[in-house]
Structures are given as C-alpha cells and as structure tokens.
Amino acid sequence: MIGGVETGGTKFVLAVGTSPENIHARHVIPTRSPQETLAEAVQWFTGQGGIKALGIASFGPADLNRTSLTWGHITNTPKAGWSGCDIAGYFARHLAVPCGFDTDVNGAALAEYHLGAGKNCASLAYITVGTGIGGGLVLNGQAVHGAAHPEMGHIVPRRAADDTAFQGICPHHGDCLEGLASGPAIIARWGASLSDLPLGHEAHNRVAAYLAQLCHSLYAISAVEMIILGGGVSKAPGLLARVREQAALLNRGYLPGTARHHIAAPGLGEDSGITGAMMLAANQV
Ligand code: ZN
C-alpha cells in the first residue's frame, strides 16, 4: 500500500491504496495548526495498517530542491504557523517511509497528464482558480521545477481599457491575475462568487478574459498542448467556454499549432490532486 496527502488551506485529503488508480480509503481533515493537522494525518495513516511510501502534493510556496537543507518545507506563507514547516520531514520521521513532495498543482498536472484529460499529450498545464490562482506544468512526463516552482497566478495581465478602477487584492502585486480573478478577488469586487452572479453579469467575461491571458501566454511560451482549468471558480457555469473564446480572440489566428491545443476541465474531476499525491508516492517505491 502507498499513501497520498493533498494539503490545502482549508483541508487535507488523505488516501491509501495499491496504486494511484486504486485508492482503497480516503479521509478528509480540516487544516489547523501544523502540529494538530500533521499529527492527525499520521494517526490516520498509522491506523490503515502501514504504507510503503507517501506522496505529498502541497500548497506552496514550498522548497522542491532535493539538494536543499529545507527540501520539503513550506517557505513563506501567510497561512498562520505554516511558514518554515517541514511537512515532508514530519511524515518521513513519523511514518518511517520515503516521501515524494511537490506542489498541489504539479501533482494535479502529473495526474491529469498520466491518467486524466492529458493522456495523449506530451505537455500539460494544470491551473487552479480558487482561493488563489496557481499552476503546474508537465513536459514530457516531468513536472517543471526551476529556481523554484512555477506560480503562474502572479503574472501581470493587460488591463482592459474600460476596467482600470479595481485595484486588485494581491498583497504583493495588487492587480496581478490572482489579484483580479481569484475567488476572493471576485467577491471583493462584485460581492458574490462567480457561480452566484447571473450569467449576464459583466464578471463572467471579465474573469474569463483575464484567465484567457494566462492561457494565451502559457501557449505562446511553451506551446503546451493541454491546459486544464480546475478549482472552484473554474466550475462557474459557462466559464470554460468563455475562456476558450477569449483565448482565441487574443491569438488572432497567429500562433501555429493551435488546432492541437486544448483548454479543458479536469478529467479526474475533484481527484486530480490526491491522485497526483499517490503518483508521487508510487515514484518512491
Ligand atoms: Zn500577485
């Protein structure tokens, strides 16, 4: 048996199974302090009768550099108490198993690439649009890590000429993409989530247009074949179709190969992240 943990700001999803495709049991616990949350997770895994390896698909920012002394740690986060938390080390010590560690979105991207909507692609990006906006990129089967991990949500989109009053809510950049199009940005600006705003409301096209800029930029930079839009905001009715439409408008027929480029919903539904965590575990066996 192998185990997986998908960590998030509000919940941890835990799973055990014989492979990423065969999850036998899962459990969800609320995210509290690192001490409480990690101890409860370890207790659950211990009660499952033992695992050979664990995969952790974590919220970021996190240190993914295997040669670093702080590999497997959360770096600077506004989440209270979690800055500097040695997540991978904690599990490795308490469960005495090898641990794979990556970001939640890289995990989701790996899962969608190997088992989900991207099964026939050589490259795939997974973007989550929810409490924040983050993205992971898989090229030829490998999640891309550079000096750190890709962020994607903090790109600076071009503001529409008639949309310059809202300052954006990113504490670092104001009107970066996350500051304009994440769930909290939508609520700060229009007082309701995108799913709760009527379909004729301007918010739908505004948000789609900003997300389309990320899709267009990603394709222009990497020629990625598949972009998956996941997360709570992406589930708003009609949003995916609007993003596709707006991305095509931005391209203006210029970039080559767009017939083989797709913007899609997650093939694994809600399970991309935890399946990715299980894949990180399988890689350790
Ligand atoms: Zn930002």
Could you read off the pLDDT tens digit of each residue along the chain, which spans 285 residues?
999 999 998 999 999 999 999 999 999 999 999 999 999 999 999 999 989 999 999 998 999 999 999 999 999 988 889 999 999 999 999 999 999 999 999 999 999 999 999 998 999 999 999 999 999 999 999 999 989 999 999 999 999 999 999 999 999 999 999 999 999 999 999 999 999 999 999 999 999 999 999 999 999 999 999 999 999 999 999 999 999 999 999 999 999 999 999 999 999 999 999 999 999 999 999
Residues 217 and 277 reside in one and the same domain? no
Residues 6+ apart with CB under 8 A from 68: none
Residues 121 and 261 reside in one and the same domain? yes
Instruction: Give the number of domains in the chain.
Output: 2
Using the mean position of ligand 1's atoms as its centre, give its distance from the Cα of residue 176 in Å: 5
* Helix residue ranges, H only, the chain: 34-47, 87-95, 104-115, 177-181, 183-190, 202-222, 239-251, 272-282
Using the mean position of ligand 1's atoms as its centre, give its distance from the Cα of residue 178 in Å: 6
Residues 20 and 138 reside in one and the same domain? no
Using the mean position of ligand 1's atoms as its centre, give its distance from the Cα of residue 282 in Å: 33
Domain span at residue 168? 117-265
Residues 31 and 123 reside in one and the same domain? no
Residue 203, domain member (yes or no): yes
Residues 170 and 232 reside in one and the same domain? yes
Residues 75 and 142 reside in one and the same domain? no
Residues 48 and 98 reside in one and the same domain? yes
Residues 67 and 158 reside in one and the same domain? no
CATH number at residue 150: 3.30.420.40
Asked if 38 and 90 count as a contact pair (C-beta separation under 8 A), the reply is yes
Residues 257 and 274 reside in one and the same domain? no
Using the mean position of ligand 1's atoms as its centre, give its distance from the Cα of residue 77 in Å: 13
Q: What is the rounded distance in angstroms from the CA atom of residue 218 to the CA atom of residue 125?
A: 8
Using the mean position of ligand 1's atoms as its centre, give its distance from the Cα of residue 108 in Å: 21
Residue 14, domain member (yes or no): yes
Residue 253, domain member (yes or no): yes
Residue 108, domain member (yes or no): no
Using the mean position of ligand 1's atoms as its centre, give its distance from the Cα of residue 15 in Å: 32
Is the pTM for the entire model greater than 0.85?
Answer: yes
Residues 210 and 252 reside in one and the same domain? yes
DSSP character at residue 97: S
Using the mean position of ligand 1's atoms as its centre, give its distance from the Cα of residue 233 in Å: 17
Reduced to 3 states (helix: H, G, I; strand: E, B; else coil), residue 248 is: helix
Asked if 136 and 107 count as a contact pair (C-beta separation under 8 A), the reply is yes
Residue 57, domain member (yes or no): yes
